[in-house]
Amino acid sequence: MKNYNLLRCNLTDRTVKPEKISEEILKLYIGGRGLGVKILWDEVPPKTDALSENNKLIFSVGPLTATSAPTSGRFSCVSKSPLTGTIFDANSGGRFGFELRGLDILALIIEGKASELSYLYLNAESGIYELRSALEFSKKDTWITTDQLIEQTDSQAKIACIGPAGENKVLTACIINDKGHALGRGGLGAVMGSKNLKAIAIRGNKLEKNDELKDVSDELHLALRKNPVTKSALPVFGTPVLVNVINELGMFPTKNFQEGVFDDAPGISGEKLQELYVVRKHACAGCTIACGRITKLTEEKQGKGPEFETIWAFGSQIANNNLALICELNYLCNQVGLDTISTGNTIGCAMELAEAGLLPDFPKFGETDKLMDIIKEIAFKRGMGLDLGEGSKRFAERYGKPELSMSVKSLEIPAYDPRGAQGQGLAYATSNRGGCHLRAYMISTEILGNPIPMDRFTPQGKAGIVRVFEDLSAFVDSLVLCRFSSFALSAIDYARLLSVIYKIKYTESDVMRIGERIWNLERLYNVKAGFGAKDDQLPPRLLTEVHKIGGSRNKTVMLNQLLPEYYKLRGWNAEGIPEPSTLESLSL
């Protein structure tokens, strides 16, 4: 196994120092998400204030990053979330991960706090590793910051930065890389802002090719080109292909999850986006799927996206059928550095409060004239934006209606109403980072029939599949490969790739055990931060209120039936705490 390094940047004393990672840690946690989680566990106590200088940001890649492996262009960032209070990881594509890996490291640890707004410049070619003043970029948006930093540093540099939302420590702020990719959820942009770190600019060296890896990779690239999701659906329409599919099933959350069908869904669908505004496909580094879309409204208004989740958040969630406006809101969020899912979800919560007469001056569902201004208010913490930027849970509680927050562990739920997919409901509830569809993408099996079709309305068998998906996802995030690769690839395929890189024989069982270890370490961190079974819950609306129309009418999530079985399969007690025997078996 090759000796990999990490870089530790202490913003307080302005130092950047290399360190070694032990071979044992790499065997147990691989890289990416797993390595970041292990570092955070070792160095940031669970009770730490997420916006204090004692919190850390761990930007990490995996052993397969920037190789010939399919979808190898992604990277992770792990920290404690200021929005949820949980351990948190986010995952992004583009080309930043390639450059980070080109520094010949697996992780970049950011700690301390700079005395003034700064940016970190790391250039392996010129040997520059230093912290520089970023005062001239104060409150500038992410697109301008990216362009100007490239001019100042290196024409081939890749940039990850925050906008005004991150500088103002808005709890739903994200980190934007390559002008259109996001470490989107959980407020990691606020953590970066709390450290006075505006941006990271990286220029790495090219990595050596691995002929043995290429042989395996070529075979798996072929598998991606044969799978209907990665061959046709995603390449042709991107993630917005799901709009009409999910709407027809009665699972497209509308008006803050009050309804599951949006009558105007065809007008904001992937097909309509392709017809009106898409100018070309976009692929992350190392990816043949090319699920991204570059859209254009005018010469001045163009950019990456919107993705499926964003179309929902600024579409049916707030009863908006103006696709051009959805594109504009997406561009604006990317520029100011806001998570589109949490932002749109929280605005939908506020609109329901307005409908109830509790916010008389706020727009109601379908009233869109002020949305651009509202997002700017959130980013700059002005007016109502001061409260909206704290997320829907805190916002709804402030107005005495906590039940109107469609969130889990304070993280807003995305674009799949789980009343139409029982397994996805359990996945939301048990997610270590809160309301997230990507911890266990049960839509794959319950809706798309991949790898096997399951009855979406039955709870039977779902706890076991959720567990498998959670563990496999944790492993894939540690390689780091795109989650979409799992539509076509199996645990055996991932084991083959890692075996070639580490020169150690990994099996399917090894893969699942590593994922389980990472998942349980995250859970243990949350337990020590004060989380437990009381937090593995869904908004009351999803448990008690039914849709009257659509393909998921008269259904609720049977969480009380699902959770006990899940805890048992996990080896956790009734309070959701891992049993000592479980931890021992995982070398925790």
Q: Is the pLDDT of residue 560 over 90?
A: yes
In a domain, 530, yes or no: yes
CATH number at residue 114: 3.60.9.10
In a domain, 537, yes or no: yes
| pLDDT tens for each residue of 485-510 | 999 999 999 999 999 999 999 999 99
Mean pLDDT of 343-367: 97
**Which residues have CB under 8 Å from 234's CB, separation 6+?**
241, 289, 290, 291, 484
In a domain, 453, yes or no: yes
Residue 181 and residue 94 in one domain: yes
| pLDDT tens for each residue of 170-201 | 999 999 999 999 999 999 999 999 999 999 99
Residue 435 and residue 576 in one domain: yes
Domain count, the chain: 3
Kindly tell me the burial class for residue 2, based on how many C-beta atoms sit within 10 Å of its own C-beta (0-12, 13-18, 19 or more): exposed
Q: Is the pLDDT of residue 520 over 60?
A: yes
Residue 191 and residue 255 in one domain: no
Domain end call among 405, 431, 460: 405
Bridge partner residues of 182 (DSSP): 176
Upper half-sphere CA count for residue 179 (Cβ side, 13 Å): 14
Mean pLDDT of 280-298: 92
Average pLDDT, the chain: 96
What is the pTM assigned to this prediction?
0.96
Q: How many whole angstroms separate alpha carbon 389 and alpha carbon 462?
A: 35
Q: What angle do CA 23, 27, 30 make, to 5 degrees?
A: 105
CATH number at residue 471: 1.10.599.10
Q: Is the pLDDT of residue 96 over 90?
A: yes
Residue 13 and residue 150 in one domain: yes
Mean pLDDT of 350-365: 97
| pLDDT tens for each residue of 196-212 | 999 999 999 888 788 88
The whole-number pLDDT of residue 233 equals 87
Q: Is the pLDDT of residue 114 over 80?
A: yes
Q: How many whole angstroms separate alpha carbon 353 and alpha carbon 251?
A: 22
Q: Given the DSSP bridges, would you call strands 5-10 and 105-111 parallel, antiparallel or unpaired?
A: parallel
| pLDDT tens for each residue of 126-150 | 999 999 999 999 999 999 999 999 9
Q: Is the pLDDT of residue 359 over 90?
A: yes
Domain end call among 375, 405, 435: 405
| pLDDT tens for each residue of 309-349 | 999 999 999 999 999 999 999 999 999 999 999 999 999 99
Q: How many whole angstroms separate alpha carbon 36 and alpha carbon 228?
A: 33
The 10 Å Cβ neighbour count of residue 22 is 10
Mean pLDDT of 85-109: 96
Q: Is the pLDDT of residue 19 over 80?
A: yes
Kindly tell me the burial class for residue 409, based on how many C-beta atoms sit within 10 Å of its own C-beta (0-12, 13-18, 19 or more): buried
Q: What angle do CA 186, 137, 102 make, to 5 degrees?
A: 65
Mean pLDDT of 450-467: 96
pLDDT band at residue 2, thresholds of 50, 70 and 90?
low
In a domain, 328, yes or no: yes
pLDDT band at residue 393, thresholds of 50, 70 and 90?
very high
Residue 193 and residue 262 in one domain: no
Residue 388 and residue 445 in one domain: no
CATH number at residue 341: 1.10.569.10
Residue 143 and residue 262 in one domain: no
Residue 141 and residue 275 in one domain: no
Please give the C-alpha separations between residue 67 and each of 61, 64, 222, 480, 496, in angstroms, as whole numbers.
11, 6, 16, 11, 14
Residue 462 and residue 362 in one domain: no
In a domain, 208, yes or no: no
In a domain, 223, yes or no: no
Kindly tell me the burial class for residue 212, based on how many C-beta atoms sit within 10 Å of its own C-beta (0-12, 13-18, 19 or more): exposed
Task: Identify the residue whose tokens are 């079709």.
Answer: 453
Residue 438 and residue 527 in one domain: yes
In a domain, 225, yes or no: no
Per cent of the chain over pLDDT 90 is 94
Per cent of the chain over pLDDT 70 is 99
Q: Is the pLDDT of residue 1 over 60?
A: no
Residue 390 and residue 250 in one domain: yes
Q: Is the pLDDT of residue 3 over 70?
A: no
**Which residues have CB under 8 Å from 209's CB, separation 6+?**
68
The whole-number pLDDT of residue 237 equals 87
Mean pLDDT of 456-479: 97
In a domain, 85, yes or no: yes
The 10 Å Cβ neighbour count of residue 350 is 25
Residue 265 and residue 392 in one domain: yes
Please give the residue range of the domain that contains residue 289: 234-405
Domain end call among 353, 376, 405: 405
